Chains A and B, each alone.
Chain A
Amino acid sequence: MKKVFERPKSLTDVPFSYCPGCTHGIAHRLVAEVIDELGIQERTIGIAPVGCSVLCYDFFDVDMQEAAHGRAPAVATGIKRVHPDSIVFSYQGDGDLASIGTAEIVHAANRGEKITVIFINNAIYGMTGGQMAPTTLPGQKTTTSPYGRDTEACGYPIRISEMLSTLDGPAYIARASLHDPQNIVKAKSAIRKAFQAQVDGLGFSLVELLSTCPTNWGMTPVESLKWLEDNMIPRYPLGEYKVIEGVK
């Protein structure tokens, strides 16, 4: 019998450590499928963040470096400059990329560093137990915004994709969502374009993936998907924010 569904080559057989219903697993799978399809597994080097996906060096079957919290784009820069022919990607959460690591992501993007960034926006700090993230929605309750995010005191959700697409360095920036099969297909196509842009040497690429954290949102997996669709997408519109000539 022909297998129609199997593990991508670029994933190891280590079982994911994510909570049931967490979309980190889907994001991993999409990235691994794209690496397989582009035939770049043997020259890909990934960077794991600090966050729930800190152990992703055990899941992606490519060379990996684990970075300090938020520093993945700087680590990626070091690797890419040493091995310009390799394909370098970082995988980062919203605390990692949009809070502690804002300087590193902005400047890597601005330099047009030829790397690909997979940015998981789940509007919360998952690993440390559900604290407020810079991407947390106004009024959203977290363990450090127990009365709901007060924009007067804590400001507003950061829109990273929009912000970075004002720069000249990036070649491709898109936001996609993982809440239903149709959107997952679109997310994969964005990830593919992002990696292809790097393969073609076009510049910096980033895909922001709207994700769920059922555990810290205090919802079932199904409720989480619905909450993402109803609340996150209006704040974080989906689509391609930057596509320079040559991206395919």
Chain B
Amino acid sequence: MGEKILMKGAEALGEAAIKAGCRFFFGYPITPQNEVPEYMSKRLPKEGGVFLQAESEVAAINMVYGAAGAGARVMTSSSSPGISLKMEGISYIAGAKLPCVIVNIVRGGPGLGGIQPAQSDYFQATKGGGHGDYRMIVLAPSSVQEMVDLMGDAFDLADLYRMPTMILGDGMLGQMMEPVEFKERKPIALPPKDWATTGKKGRGKQNIINSLFLIAEECEEHNFELKKRYNEIEKNEVKFESYNMEDADVAIIAYGTTARIVKTAIKRAESKGMKVGLIRPITLWPFPEKVIAAAAEKVKAFLTVEMSTGQMVEDVRLAVNGQKPVYFYGRTGGMVPSPEEMVAEVEKILG
């Protein structure tokens, strides 16, 4: 057992990346995630790595593309408006089958929005955001410890499936001080990066990193190959937490920071005699649709709670597929839903 140390979320995130073997970080300042690049700028040079403050998020993500194509474990971090700028690069990274980790500490939008915690980038993260038929693995931690644990997974999944992986958090998680333990990870078997551009020495044949397929048949073939990989991920990599679901009448679906608050709400609802459970998606893509569909056979209704005006709720409705009513409650723009508000919603549903 490792020891527990008290750390700020954003810094724990940086340290976890370094522990996962990340030695390259390219980013651009934006609130509320500045502690991540600041931490990396302090730590990476000491680990023989490179921290570089790029001229923009566009440049940063393209530096990530170059470094990932060169075979490195590489990360960038930003917040909503910056992630919008990275979307071009993310699409190219997905198209060129490059592994990397992207952190989005989500803030209120649209536009410049605000700097308080939000979950309004769910669509952008899980439904594309960039152009083309691609997916990105999206991990949504709800505590500092989980953020640390998921960082190792993020790099492994990226390498295993050769694709971008996103950690979706919010300012509350980033600012929170919590005791964390950096657990020893069991190394998993990863394919060799024999496709990386390292100079063709010793290889004879050139390596090319590319997402261009001018012949329609070849472009379709490329997309089908990506899709095959995505199907495998949907089969193997779904992660969720089920809490208090055994005899729940209402299942709340929530992720990240919101899910923490739901747990408090569940206790209060219990003291009022209501049976409420939580299904917390940890992977937002692949989405835990099976467990939600199965729960639909037992509960009376679903309540999706988000810090948005309703994004993940669409995936919940697809999973429930009309079997039971799906309600929504959301606060947005940096407002955080309280346990009382959630209990009041449940009361309305059980009416």
Total number of residue pairs linking A and B with CB closer than 8 Å: 133
The answer to whether A66 and B96 have CB atoms under 8 Å apart is yes
Which of A45, A48, A60, A80 has the most CB atoms of chain B within a 10 A radius of its CB? A45
B291 in the interface (beta carbon within 8 A)? no
A45–B71 Cα distance when bound, in Å, is 13
What is the size category of the interface that chain B forms with chain A?
Answer: 35 or more
Of A68-76, A166-174, A181-189, the one with at least 4 CB within 8 A of chain B: A68-76
Contact of B201 among A43, A54, A66, A82 (CB under 8 A): A43
Inter-chain contact B208/A65, CB cutoff 8 Å: yes
B34-69 contacts to A (CB < 8 Å): 50, 52, 54-56, 58-60, 62-69
Q: Give bound CA distance, A107 to B53, whole Å.
A: 11
- CB nearest to A40 among chain B residues: B199
- Once the chains bind, are B212 and A54 in contact (CB under 8 Å)? yes
Q: Is the CB of B209 within 8 A of A64?
A: yes
* A1 CB → nearest B CB, Å: 28
Cβ-defined contact, A81 with B59, below 8 A = no
CB-contact partner of A45 in B50, B54, B59, B70, under 8 A:
B70
* A74 neighbours in B (Cβ, 8 Å): 54, 58-60, 62-63, 65-66
The reply to whether B208 and A78 form a contact with Cβ atoms under 8 Å apart is no
Q: What is the distance, in angstroms, from B332's C-beta to the closest C-beta of chain A?
A: 32
User: How far, in angstroms, from A34 to B199 measured CA to CA in the complex?
Assistant: 16
Q: A63-B206, A79-B70 are in contact. Are A71 and B200 (CB under 8 A)?
A: no
- Of all chain A residues, the one with the shortest Cβ separation from B61 is A74
CA A48 – CA B199 in complex, angstroms? 15
Given known contacts A79-B67, A82-B67, A82-B71, A62 and B211 CB-to-CB distance under 8 angstroms: no
Interface assignment of A223: CB less than 8 Å from any CB of chain B: no
Residues of A contacting B64 in the complex (Cβ-Cβ under 8 angstroms): 78
How far is B198's CA from A104's CA once the two chains are assembled, in angstroms? 23
A67 on the B face (CB < 8 A):
yes
Partner of B58 from the list A61, A66, A71 (CB cut-off 8 Å) is A71
The answer to whether B210 and A86 touch across the interface, beta carbons within 8 angstroms, is no
Bound-state Cα–Cα, A83 to B50, Å = 11
User: Which of B62, B92, B198: most chain A CB closer than 10 A?
Assistant: B62
A53 within 8 A of B: no
Shortest distance between the CB of B282 and any CB in chain A (Å): 30
Do B62 and A75 have beta carbons less than 8 Å apart?
A: yes
Q: How far is the CB of B244 from chain A (nearest CB, A)?
A: 46
Most buried by A among B50, B55, B66, B67: B66
A54 contacts across to B, CB distance below 8 A = 212
A57 close to chain B: CB less than 8 A: yes
Q: Which of A57, A77, A79, A103 contacts B208 (CB 8 A)?
A: A57
Q: Which residues of A contact B202 (CB under 8 A)?
A: 42
Give every chain B residue within 8 A of A63 (Cβ-Cβ): 197-200, 206-208
Interface pair B56/A68, CB less than 8 Å apart:
no
Decide if the interface of chain A is mainly helix, strand, loop or mixed.
Answer: helix
* Of B26, B55, B198, B200, the contact of A107 (CB 8 Å cutoff): B55
User: Cβ of A75 and Cβ of B65 under 8 Å apart?
Assistant: yes
> Are A45 and B199 also in contact (CB < 8 A) when A66-B208, A67-B65 are?
yes
Known: A79-B70, A86-B199. A71 touches B89 (CB 8 A): yes
CB distance from B115 to the nearest CB of A (A): 24
Is the pair B209, A65 in contact by a Cβ cutoff of 8 Å? yes
Q: Is B62 touching A44 in the complex (CB atoms < 8 A)?
A: no
Interface flag for B296 (CB, 8 Å): no
A65 in contact with B197 (CB, 8 Å): yes
Nearest Cβ on chain A to B37's Cβ, whole angstroms: 15
Question: When the two chains form their complex, are residues A62 and B200 in contact, meaning their CB atoms are under 8 A apart?
Answer: yes
CA distance A103 to B210 in the complex (A): 23
Q: Does B24 contact A (CB under 8 A)?
A: yes
- B326 at the A interface (CB under 8 A): no
Contact indicator B70/A78 (Cβ below 8 Å): yes
A161 CB-CB contact with B under 8 Å: no
Please state if A71 and B62 are interface contacts (CB–CB under 8 Å): yes
Report the bound CA distance from A25 to B197 in whole Å.
24
Which residue of the partner chain B has the closest CB to A106?
B55
Inside 8 A of A47's CB, which chain B residues have their CB? Answer: 66
Contact residue among B52, B65, B92, B201 (Cβ-Cβ distance under 8 Å from A42): B201
| Bound: A221/B81 CA distance, A | 47
Digit string of A17-45 for contact with B (CB within 8 Å is 1, else 0)? 00000000000000000000000011111
Distance to closest chain B CB from A156 (angstroms): 24
Bound CA span A174–B50, Å: 30
Most chain B C-beta atoms within 10 Å of own C-beta, residue among A42, A48, A75, A107 = A75
Contact between B208 and A64, CB atoms less than 8 A apart:
yes
5 tightest A-B contacts by CB? A78-B66, A74-B62, A42-B201, A78-B67, A75-B66
Given contacts A76-B66, A78-B24, A78-B65, 5 further A-B contacts (CB under 8 A): A57-B208, A67-B62, A68-B62, A78-B68, A103-B58
Q: Which residues of B contact A (CB under 8 A)?
A: 24, 26, 50, 52, 54-56, 58-60, 62-72, 74, 88-89, 92, 96, 197-202, 206-212
Q: What are 5 residue pairs bridging A and B, where the CB atoms are less than 8 Å apart in the complex?
A: A60-B206, A65-B210, A77-B66, A79-B67, A81-B63
Residues of A within 8 A of B (CB): 12, 41-45, 47-48, 54-55, 57-58, 60-68, 71, 74-83, 86, 103-104, 106-107
